Amino acid sequence: MLTSLVAVWMLSAAPASAAPALADAKEVRSVVESTVNSVLEVLKDKGLSKDVRKKKVLDVIDPVFDLALMGKLTLGRGHWGKLDEGQKKEFASLFIATIKDSYYEKIDLFTDETVDFDDPVPGEPGKWQMLTRINSKGQRYGLLYKLYKDKGKGGWKVYDVEIEGISLIRSYGAQYDQFLQKGTVPGLLAKMKQKDTPGDLKAATKKSAGKAGKP
């Protein structure tokens, strides 16, 4: 009985799901590869000024990273629900600026790098992960891109990035959650704005260090 069930399952389910999965894997691979390669191309063009380089990198990742979704996920449903419409907009724009800066600064550290691509691996339904390995200064770093299929707009979008196992969503999420345990939403927005302001970074960090919500 069991064996025949298994046989039926193997005959029916497996081939039916294998083909789309293969197509998904191919799409995910091409999205990640072309994005990473385009970023590398920009980074390797040393003739560009820092500002131009940054803008070009961000232009590449903008359509691929679902930054609005990432912002919501870091806050989580519980905290997100506490924001009114204006605050949601403000949070989104501050978060997106933070993440763009952060991603660019990380990626910009790799000056002499080459990148190897692993095969995409399926996650939960509709999600894939693809590991890229950056070789830099004799070391190798794992950068895992996590993508979901955007059924609304079509195509694959990045919803999280893990650097050596450290998830962007989790890390920022834990920080915001910690702050909101004791702090308020306007307080968080003010703090993010303060962090976002370029220049005088040290003073801002110092000033805010004391106020940080202790766990």
Partner 1 sequence: MRMIHPRVPALVAAALLLAAGSAGAAEPSKKSKSSQPVMSLPAVPIGAEEGSDEGFADFEGEFGKPEAAKKVFDPLRGYNRVMYHFNDKFYLWVAKPLSIGYGILIPEPGRVMLARGFTNFAFPVRFVGAGMQGKFKSMGIELGRFLVNSTLGLGGLFDPAEAWFGLRLQDEDVGQGLGRWGVGTGFPVVLPILGQTNLRDGVGLIGQSFLTPLNPVYGLADWSTNMSVTAGGQFNFISLHIGEYEKIKKDALDPYTFIRDAHLQNRAKRVKE
Question: Which residues contact partner 1 (rule: CB under 8 A)?
Answer: 66, 69, 72-73, 75-80, 98, 102, 105-106, 109, 118-119, 121-127, 129-131, 133, 137-142, 144, 148-152, 157, 159, 162-167, 169-179, 191, 195, 201, 205, 208-209, 212-215
Nearest Cα to 74, choosing from 4, 210, 138, 168?
Answer: 168
Report H helices in the chain: 2-44, 50-61, 67-80, 85-109, 168-182, 185-196, 201-209
Based on C-alpha coordinates, what's the Rg of the chain? Answer: 20
The residue among 46 and 137 lying less far from partner 1, judged by its C-beta, is 137
CA 161, CA 56: separation in Å to the nearest integer? Answer: 20
Smallest gap from Cβ 133 to partner 1, in A, equals: 8
The residue among 47 and 165 lying less far from partner 1, judged by its C-beta, is 165
Q: What are phi and psi of 131, to 5 degrees?
A: -90, 130
The residue among 15 and 77 lying less far from partner 1, judged by its C-beta, is 77
The residue among 15 and 138 lying less far from partner 1, judged by its C-beta, is 138
Smallest gap from Cβ 51 to partner 1, in A, equals: 17
Fill in the amino acid letter for 16.
A
Give the residue carrying structure tokens 């040290």: 202
Smallest gap from Cβ 59 to partner 1, in A, equals: 21
